[in-house]
Amino acid sequence: MDEFFAQLWNLILVFIDPRNLPHPERYVEALKAPGVMWTAFAAVNLIVFTETGLLIGFLLPGDSLLVVTGIVARTAEWPMLPLTLSLIACAIIGDSVGYWIGAKAGPAIFNRPSSRFFKREHLLAAKAYYERHGGKTIIIARFIPIIRTFVPVVAGAAKMEYRTFLTFNVVGGVAWITSMLAIGYFLDDALKQVFGPEFMIAKHVDKVVIVVVFLSVAPMLLKGYRHWRDRRRVANIGAGSPPTTIA
């Protein structure tokens, strides 16, 4: 047991070190170390929960770590089903914890001063994003670092009904975890065959996330455009109609 916690702590130190963020290959080396598979499971789940559930989690490398986990799961032949289900559960529980933190603190949390592990400007940015996009923010924010940590808190403080929040939370959690793992598991190997064995998609995860977010919001943008077009067409028809005369 002592060895397990020692391995867990060492892995967490690798993941939280900001110097490793531009070097995802260091995450790969740590996760592929001999005899650490179950410890790695625990560490990655803990990071996902902390990033989504605790206000200090915005410092953690959620997207790149999930992509790297997908890469390692394929090369080390990790069991994907329990890994995926546990990560989805941690993502959903984490967002729920954030929601209840916001619900408990209420609007007063927006006046909390910044500190080393809490940035008020990040919370206010999440609030502005939430006010623009409503409940869909819970899903979209999953793919936006920093914002995803604070949006559940904002939803709780705004008194969104928990059942509604949970629906968006589950959809977003499933979409985020499965897409990031799949990118590492399937896409990394395919792109290595195109760009060479030194290529690692985790180094380009920011670009991948932009594409994923665009594909996620594209249907909403198209729907909004059609709604705007139809309203404009009706307005033009109305403006061109002859005045009604009364006999």
Query: What pLDDT is recorded for position 247?
Result: 47
Q: 52 near 91, Cβ under 8 Å?
A: yes
| Average pLDDT of the segment spanning 176-180 | 93
List residues bridging with 118 in a β-sheet: 115
| Average pLDDT of the segment spanning 70-81 | 91
Tokens of 183: 């990118």
35 CA to centre of own chain: 29
Where residue 140 falls among pLDDT bands split at 50, 70, 90?
A: confident
| Average pLDDT of the segment spanning 12-38 | 89
For residue 220, is pLDDT > 80?
no
DSSP for the chain, written as a single string: -HHHHHHHHHHHHHHH-GGGTT-HHHHHHHHTSTT-HHHHHHHHHHHHHHHHHSGGGGGS-HHHHHHHHHHHHHHTT--HHHHHHHHHHHHHHHHHHHHHHHHHHGGGGGGPPPBTTB-HHHHHHHHHHHHHHTTHHHHHGGGSTTHHHHHHHHHHHTT--HHHHHHHHHHHHHHHHHHHHHIIIIIHHHHHHHH-TT--GGGGHHHHHHHHHHHHHHHHHHHHHHHHHHHHHHHHHHHHSPPP---
For residue 50, is pLDDT > 80?
yes
Query: What pLDDT is recorded for position 167?
Result: 94
Tokens of 178: 């499965």
For residue 48, is pLDDT > 90?
yes
For residue 243, is pLDDT > 60?
no
| Number of residues that make up the chain | 247
37-53 helix and 62-75 helix, angle to the nearest 10 degrees: 160
Side chain identity at 116, as an amino acid letter?
R
Residues sharing a CB contact under 8 Å with residue 88, sequence separation 6 or more, in sequence order: 173, 174, 177, 178
Higher-confidence position of 232 and 210: 232
Where residue 120 falls among pLDDT bands split at 50, 70, 90?
A: confident
Tokens of 165: 């929040």
Query: What pLDDT is recorded for position 123?
Result: 73
Q: What angle do CA 54, 59, 64 make, to 5 degrees?
A: 110
Query: What pLDDT is recorded for position 209?
Result: 61
% pLDDT > 70, the chain? 84
Query: What pLDDT is recorded for position 236?
Result: 76
Query: What pLDDT is recorded for position 189?
Result: 81
d(CA 30, CA 39): 11
Query: What pLDDT is recorded for position 172?
Result: 93
| Average pLDDT of the segment spanning 190-214 | 73
Query: What pLDDT is recorded for position 208?
Result: 66
Query: What pLDDT is recorded for position 136?
Result: 82
